[in-house]
Amino acid sequence: MNEQFRVAHKLGLMFHHDTPLPEDVKAWAISQLHAKSPALGIKKVKHYPKAKVQEWPKSLQPDLKKRDDMFAVYKQNVRKQRMELEGHTSEAAKRANNRENLMGEKDEMKFAHRNIYGKDQVRLRFTSFWANHFTTGNIWDNQNHIGHAIDEAILANLNGSFSHMLYKMTTHPSMLVYLDNVWSSGPNSKNVIWAKEKGKQAGLNDNLGRELLELHTVSPSAKYSETDIRNAAKVLAGWGIWPGNLSDGLMTLNERNNKLIEMGETTNSWDFFKKWHAEPGNKTVLGKVIPAGKGGLRNLTDFLASHENTIMFISFKLAEHFVSDNPSKSDIDYIANAWRLSNGGLDQIHSAVIERAISSKAPKFQWPMTWLFQVVRLSDASFFKGWDQIEKYDEGLMEVRKIFEELGQSFWHTRQPNGYSSAKSEWLSGEMFERRIRFSDAIYTAGYPSFSPQEIMDRIGANEATRELVNSLLGRKKQFIALMCSPELMGLENA
Amino acid sequence: MPKLNLTRREFLKVSGASLFLAGLPLPGFTSDKPPGTISVIMLEGGMDGLTAVPPFGDPNLLRMRRNLTSDNYLKLNSFFGLHPSFKYFAGLMAKNNASVVHATNFPYVLRSHFEGQNLMQGGGLSPFSETTGWLGRALDLAKVPGRSLSLDMPLVLRGMSDNDNFYPASIKSSSDLMTQLIDTISMAHSKEGSEIFAKVSKKSTQKDSIVPRNPASLAKFAGKAMSQDGGPLSSVIKVDQFDTHANQGSDENGNHGTQLTLIDDIIAGYKEGLGDAWDRSIILTLTEFGRTVLENGTGGTEHGYGSAGLLAGGAITKSRVISQWPGLAKNEQFEKRDLMSTIDYRSVCAACIEKSLGLDHDLIASKVFYTPKLPRVYDQIFS
């Protein structure tokens, strides 16, 4: 590939056919870190000519409060349905409840659209890296939160510091729900004392405390103890709201809001701290003394964010994701150094990643979702439905949720908190490769690409081996499949 | 799927001797052709052995786990019971075709899912030390192909180039795979990519019927495939969501109980699919760790150490609960919080390999688990 597309393959999602190729590709990639683009997408799929790309409608991008309210209403309706109340039991009522109050499907479509039509491809790749680092899945009742976390806790904070992003993700309801912290209360909190008096259960849950140390920051290389984990959990105790209804009764939104204010002095689920659930007293984590109270968590996340083990652990992850499948020590050190010098400034860290990814000539195997977005962008195919078609059956086009399911990768799946591996070895299997062939076929067949394999090869400056492979086949469809599954576009070595 | 309706009275007939495990490995047997099949059900997140197989004879169980223990457990013997989700498995125990190993784990005590899962699959001496898995290495030694029933290739099966995974694709607007096209793509790739596309090509000529996605149906499919002449001798099914830190529940409808029902359904699926091949089959569960003895403050449990392993298959001819019970009192717990592990689960895996693949225990101990002195427990399970 020419230098522009080689870099876009490693660090971005490929240039659209109407985007002029930058002359200084490194300067372009670094400037992309500040590229601002609204969520772009299409209303409805059209092939000749292709549908107009426009901003996602505001009505489909509710703020967090609205999302929480919608979910509370959803839960109430489900309860009414179980009670067999009139007007709530028909299939139409159930569908309307899903359509009006659940965000998972819309958010997943918006994410796909954004990655396909977005003008901020490098930013979006870093967004996906961090969304995976701070994995939150659709476990419990989390689907109205995941898309909001990706957009507002990750993408919106991409130009700040790692410590800020860490704090914003740790306190985001998407994380607090996914790793059970919403339930947790300190062993000496008022809530636990009252519960004991009434013979009820309440106490600590260490799930988020453990993963905050193991996965989000210092990693097991820091050799923390179970006591460190428990103390981190005690710092976290009190953070978060259980989504949906707060009690067994059918609460109105007003009553719910009043209850929230009583518990956490706010209705904002992204800044929600229940002092009655908090653990009194100082806590020590990895030798650092953390004071009691709401401010304690920021002390902890700031301490962990600048910890040397965090820097080395995440610098490796970044290098493995963007630079090469076997990053060198100097790649990792270069990123870690930028981290130390900038005190965790994400712009500087990301710029260092970009520099190393460009200077390393090694191919980088791409995730299934990254590859899919790249194939669709290169060919200008229409493979994802538009937002007006969410509920409409189409015999050619797959549901967005189904696409990601078949791909074997989605930020909206229930999955383990360590997220998807960037290691090539995790993805080398017949099943995964068969899917690349089938998806290439489906994108060609149902997506009506605007460009032929020859035109795409010319634009990207495909290498000799790729041209030989494609030209040895007869028929555009076969050529298209071979191009998209070539070593060059998958990020593997040529034979 | 047939489900046996067993009363508690019938369970009293199940033999369930708790055995003491000790001694040096005895010489095993080898033969030219692997005598059986081996299937692994991987339970991700940490199965709660005390919920799955409650030791109700231990006075501390109800004292410490009142809300986590189902009161309608199925009685196995005077000490152990089975979770009510395991109705089918209980039937197999009644027919002497299943056993339980309790208070067991891989030798891993640090309670990280990801280190633990890596170790239970890699089977090496420490997490992330291996790029191949114990089952893959065993199959390699026995020179037989394996197959995994999930979208990503689990570490446990890696180590043998003929391994392939199978999870049926359902992608609209894509047509049947074209062998010649895939062969051409395969040739353009270097070794690693080329080998994988070659597998896809080989598969494109096989006629796989459409398989539903639920674990039980996949198990039935796997069983059927393994029952064929020249079919795979091994399979792995992965089930997640055992990590119940909150609202764990106690009975079949609880969050943990629902997952246990899946295990029961998978075993039933295997039995149905294997048909006559059941008699030479062994199925075992694998989980990264058990869960804390005490309930946490949110109706769940945290990451622990010792758990239980379930074994099923016609290769078992006498049902038992194999355990060197460590006790649940605080001073009997591991680090005063977890069930102690008194049986190295690698020994259980080794016995299952020995039985199904006909490899010598010493060979398995040294070449599969890199632990030449790994105790042999074959006789306790299969005699």
Amino acid letter, B90: A
Residues B160 and B202 in one domain: no
- For residue B14, pLDDT over 50 is answered with no
Lowest mean pLDDT among A287-301, A395-409, B249-263, B286-300: A395-409
Q: Name the residue facing A406 among B110, B169, B185 (closest C-beta).
A: B169
CA atoms within 13 A on the CB side of B305: 21
Cis peptide before B54 (omega within 30 of 0): no
* B145 within 8 A of B232, measured Cβ to Cβ: yes
Taking the CA of residue A37 and the nearest CA in chain B, the distance in Å comes to 31
pLDDT digits (tens, 9 = 90+) for A332-349: 999 999 999 999 999 999
* Number of residues assigned to chain B: 383
| Nearest by CB: B185 against A397, A408, A485 | A485
Judgement on whether residues B59 and B134 belong to the same structural domain of the protein: yes
Domain annotation covers residue B109: yes
pLDDT digits (tens, 9 = 90+) for B182-211: 999 999 999 888 988 888 887 766 555 556
Cα separation, A404 vs A401, in Å, equals 5
Residue B31, pLDDT score? 41
| Of A224 and B33, the one with more pLDDT | A224
* pLDDT, tens only, B216-268: 888 888 888 888 876 778 888 888 889 999 889 999 999 999 999 999 999 99
Same domain membership, residue B200 and residue B82: no
Contacts of A414 in chain B (CB under 8 A): 240-241
In a domain, B35, yes or no: yes
Tell which of B207, B231, B254 closes a domain: B207
Length reported for chain A = 495
Give the model's confidence band at B11: pLDDT under 50 very low, under 70 low, under 90 confident, else very high. very low
How far away is chain A from the Cα of B186, in angstroms, using its nearest Cα? 9
Are residues B194 and B274 both part of a single domain?
Answer: no
Q: What is the DSSP letter of B244?
A: -
Nearest to A257 by CA among A240, A248, A269: A269
Q: What is the CATH number of the domain that holds B218?
A: 3.40.720
CB contact under 8 A, A468 and B188: yes
User: A87 CA to chain B: closest CA distance, Å?
Assistant: 28
Residues B116, B156: one domain? yes
Kindly state whether A430 is in contact with chain B, defined as any CB-CB distance less than 8 angstroms: yes
Residues B299 and B365 in one domain: yes
Q: What is the count of structural domains for chain B? A: 2
Residue A289 CB neighbour total at 10 angstroms: 12
Clarify whether residues B257 and B337 are in a common domain: yes
- What is the interface pTM, i.e. ipTM, of the complex? 0.89
Task: Tell me which of B172 and A266 has the higher pLDDT.
Answer: A266
pLDDT, tens digit (0-9, with 9 covering 90-100), for B58-93: 999 999 999 999 989 999 999 999 999 999 999 999
Question: Is residue B150, in this structure, part of any structural domain at all?
Answer: yes
For residue B9, what pLDDT is reported?
A: 25
Same domain, B63 and B186: no
Per the DSSP assignment, residues forming a β-bridge with B311 are B99, B284
**B358 belongs to a structural domain:** yes
Closest CA to B150 of A424, A402, A431: A431
Assess whether B263 and B153 both reside in one domain.
yes
Last residue of a domain, one of B191, B207, B223: B207
User: Residue A495 and residue B194: Cβ atoms within 8 Å?
Assistant: yes
The verdict on B73 and B181 lying in the same domain is no
Neighbours of A252 (CB within 10 A): 12
Q: What are the φ and ψ backbone dihedral angles of B11, each rounded to 5 degrees?
A: -70, -25
Token output for B184:
């051409």
B261 and B341 housed in the same domain: yes
Supply the range of the domain harboring residue B219: 8-168+214-382
**Interface membership of A381 toward B (CB under 8 Å):** no
In a domain, B1, yes or no: no
- Please tell me the predicted confidence (pLDDT) of residue B131: 80
Which comes out higher in pLDDT, residue A400 or B162? A400
Mean pLDDT over all residues of chain B?
Answer: 83
Using one digit for the tens of pLDDT, what is the confidence trace for A48-65? 999 999 999 999 999 999
Q: Tokens 């090539």: give the residue.
A: A424
**Same domain flag for B281 and B349:** yes
A487 and B177 within 8 Å at the Cβ level: the answer is no
**Are B189 and A434 an interchain contact pair (Cβ–Cβ within 8 Å)?**
no
- Whether B2 is covered by a domain: the verdict is no
CB pair distance less than 8 Å for B241 and A414? yes
Question: Whose CA is closest to B86, among B98, B77, B74, B71?
Answer: B74
pTM for this model (two decimals): 0.86
Q: What are the helix (H) ranges across B190-249? A: 191-204, 215-227
A427 to chain B, closest Cα gap in Å: 7
